[in-house]
Chain A
């Protein structure tokens, strides 16, 4: 009995943390989402499905769907860019630490400030357009800001390190001797990568995809800054429901929906990747 009690003692900070910052908030918004709206943020604790009826409005569903698509596209780009990059870092010998620091340097300043830099870059009068105009590649500025393109750029920029770091960790741990064994058995570079490197580093890929997709699907600062609220994602809608419209019930219901959606996609993705990596080696 004693060792188990000791384990609980050691786990207690984590348990307290999880209870305070995960269980209690989720319980709160669950309760609020089923409560009655008293107007101006007043919560009347009477059971009501009004918020969910509102939330299932095609208008919101459309925004949720849009958010999932943009987050998905950004995640795929992060993966396609991030995997080779992580691979490169893991194989760059003594430059490894410098490259890792370069990946993490953006974290030293606030995302808001870094996004303003993108506004300056992507603007119609911005650096990129001015450059393209001056070399004569385009005759009039391309509108990049206020488009889905700018959202994807912002998300890839903001979340790429979250993709690179877990993948880097798994490639770094990959024992080179597995690769030698594969080569020895007649596998060229492509087969070695697809059949050995990728399956063994899959846990890093899965972690990277979640760490990118989950914050990306609910983001609102990026849309705020790079589209000036002209395009919205579900994160903006939830934030506005709480802060602007003071409709806590709707905000909570949309949050619950989003959470359910994320959990569902996590389940689908893990099922898909684990069955695939099994099939790939059969």
Chain B
């Protein structure tokens, strides 16, 4: 079931301007939807372009099913790309664009016609076959680009920020369609984006990249709920990253000192008493307490209240000077105002110890 489709082994890519990808190891399974997520310049697009063949690794190997392809030309690889700019050939009709790859494979004309029709039907553009790409909207052009790639039955479909140019509403709709398409076709999708929400919605697994290296690899839930590094914690969703000194290590939690106050965090086998650690808590997992009755709370001054429709965010500063965002609701909170002293706490399981 977990057959390997793409294997990237110790791949480094250096440009004149610096190292884009540094000693990357990544195994992509057959039929999975994997997203490479990261800020611009993190090496995600370079990684995708190396799988496609537009860039050659400076060192390392890229395996596509059971063949090393790292140094092959793009046209020798059984992968296809959906480009961010669509790159539809302007001098060809929609039909000719989609047929291009099949023609290159010297497929018979009637067979090409049938396959193109089928691919256009998949993206609901059957009636647009004779149009020129210029006559289509951005969303329609993107669908043609997808049809042009999948019609070749690639082993892997590479998508380079394909929805980046679309407006929010269309993007959401296309996210769902792409996911459904992937499940229906059973093709491995490698999707590159800087949009964390897009990654969380669509992916089976997410690779978070930063500065040419993998920060974390996991399912959307793992990445969101158990970020491993401060970068992942703050890049995916919103997170409070706090620092403190480990006071006590228990079976299921650790006690951390922030200034002269004590809080708890999730157990981590790597920490021991006396360590300076970073841990993260999502704003929605932080609560206000009525009094100091519970142990393990911090007091903080409420600095700003941000009303954002369904939720309200409270920006607080602890007495030791660390910023904490609390997302909460409830009638009692209607009466609080900026400058109030608040008592803040959380469950140990929500405070994730990060590796620095």
Q: For B96, what are the chain A residues with a Cβ–Cβ distance below 8 Å? A: 281-282
Contact yes or no, B87 A180, CB < 8 A: yes
Neighbouring B residues of A183 by C-beta, 8 Å: 53-54, 73-75
Known: A180-B54, A183-B74. A175 touches B87 (CB 8 A): yes
Nearest CB of chain B from residue A49's CB, rounded to whole Å: 47
**In the complex, which residues 31-68 of chain B have their Cβ closer than 8 Å to any Cβ of chain A?**
52-54
Chain B residues lying within 8 Å of A186, measured Cβ to Cβ, are 75, 101, 104-105, 152
Tally of contacts, chain A with chain B, CB under 8 A: 64
User: Interface size on A (CB < 8 Å)?
Assistant: 20
> In the assembly, what is the distance between CA of A14 and CA of B107, in Å?
53
B85 at the interface (CB under 8 A from A): yes
Q: Does residue A199 face the partner (Cβ distance < 8 Å to B)?
A: yes
Within 8 Å of chain A (Cβ to Cβ): is B334? no
Q: Is the CB of B90 within 8 A of A185?
A: no
Which B residues, 155 to 201, have Cβ-Cβ distances below 8 Å to chain A?
none
In the complex, B336 has a CB within 8 A of chain A: no
B100 CB contact (under 8 Å) in A177, A180, A182, A199:
A182
Inter-chain contact B83/A181, CB cutoff 8 Å: yes
Residues of B with C-beta under 8 A to A181: 81, 83, 87-89
Residues of chain B contacted by A277 (CB below 8 angstroms): 91
A188 CB-CB contact with B under 8 Å: yes
Q: Which residues on A sit within 8 Å (CB–CB) of B80?
A: 184-185
Interface membership of A191, Cβ < 8 A? yes
* B104 A177 Cβ-Cβ under 8 A: no
Query: Secondary structure at chain A's binding surface: helix, strand, loop or mixed?
Result: helix
| B85 CB to nearest A CB, Å | 6
Q: Known interface pairs A180-B54, A281-B92. Does A188 touch B75 (Cβ–Cβ under 8 Å)?
A: yes
Q: Is the C-beta of B148 less than 8 angstroms from some C-beta in chain A?
A: yes
The digit string for B282-294, where 1 denotes a CB below 8 A from any CB of A, is 0000000000000
Q: Which residues of B contact A178 (CB under 8 A)?
A: 87, 89-90
Query: 7 tightest A-B contacts by CB?
Result: A185-B101, A186-B104, A181-B87, A183-B74, A177-B87, A199-B91, A184-B81
Query: What are the interface flags for A210-222 relative to B under an 8 Å C-beta threshold, 1 for contact and 0 otherwise?
Result: 0000000000000
Which of under 10, 10 to 19, 20 to 34, or 35 or more describes the interface residues of B?
20 to 34
Q: Is A200 an interface residue (CB 8 A)?
A: yes
Chain B's closest residue to A179 (CB) is B87
Residues in A with CB closer than 8 Å to B54 are: 180, 183-184
A187 near B: Cβ within 8 Å? yes
Q: Per-position contact with A for B90-133: 1 when CB-CB < 8 Å, else 0? A: 11100010001100110000000000000000000000000000
Name the residue on A nearest B158 (C-beta): A184
Please tell me if A256 contacts chain B, counting CB pairs below 8 Å. Answer: no
Residues of B within 8 A of A199 (CB): 91
Q: For A196, give the chain B residue with the smallest CB separation.
A: B89
Residues of B with Cβ closer than 8 Å to A? 52-54, 73-75, 79-81, 83, 85, 87-92, 96, 100-101, 104-105, 148-149, 152
Indicate whether A177 sits within 8 Å of B85 (C-beta atoms), given known contacts A200-B90, A200-B91, A281-B92. Answer: yes
Q: Mark A157-173, 1 if CB is under 8 A from B, else 0.
A: 00000000000000000
B74, B85, B91, B105: the one contacting A184 at CB < 8 Å is B74
In the bound complex, CA of A187 to CA of B101 (Å): 8
Q: Which residue of chain A has its CB nearest to the CB of B88?
A: A181
Contacts of B105 in A (CB 8 A): 186
Q: List 26 A-B contacts (CB under 8 A).
A: A175-B87, A177-B83, A178-B89, A178-B90, A180-B54, A180-B87, A181-B81, A181-B88, A182-B89, A182-B100, A183-B53, A183-B75, A184-B53, A184-B54, A184-B74, A184-B80, A184-B149, A185-B80, A185-B101, A185-B149, A186-B75, A186-B101, A186-B104, A200-B89, A281-B91, A282-B96
Kindly list chain A residues whose C-beta atoms are within 8 Å of the C-beta of B89: 178, 181-182, 196, 200, 281
Give the Cβ gap from B174 to chain A, nearest Cβ, in Å. Answer: 19
B-chain residues with CB within 8 Å of residue A281 when the two chains form the complex: 89, 91-92, 96
Interface centre among B74, B83, B85, B90 (most CB of A within 10 A): B74
**In this complex, which of A183, A187, A277 has the most chain B Cβ atoms within 10 angstroms of its Cβ?**
A183
Residues from chain B with a CB closer than 8 A to the CB of A180 are 54, 74, 81, 83, 87
Distance in angstroms between the alpha carbons of A187 and B52 in the assembled complex: 14
Distance, CA A178 to CA B97, complexed state (A): 11
Q: How far, in angstroms, from A186 to B103 measured CA to CA in the complex?
A: 9
Docked CA distance A188–B85 (Å): 22
Closest to A180 in B: B54
19 extra interface residue pairs, beta carbon distance < 8 Å, beyond A184-B80, A186-B105, A191-B104: A175-B87, A178-B90, A180-B83, A181-B87, A182-B100, A183-B53, A184-B149, A185-B80, A185-B100, A185-B104, A185-B148, A185-B152, A186-B104, A187-B75, A187-B100, A187-B104, A200-B91, A277-B91, A281-B92
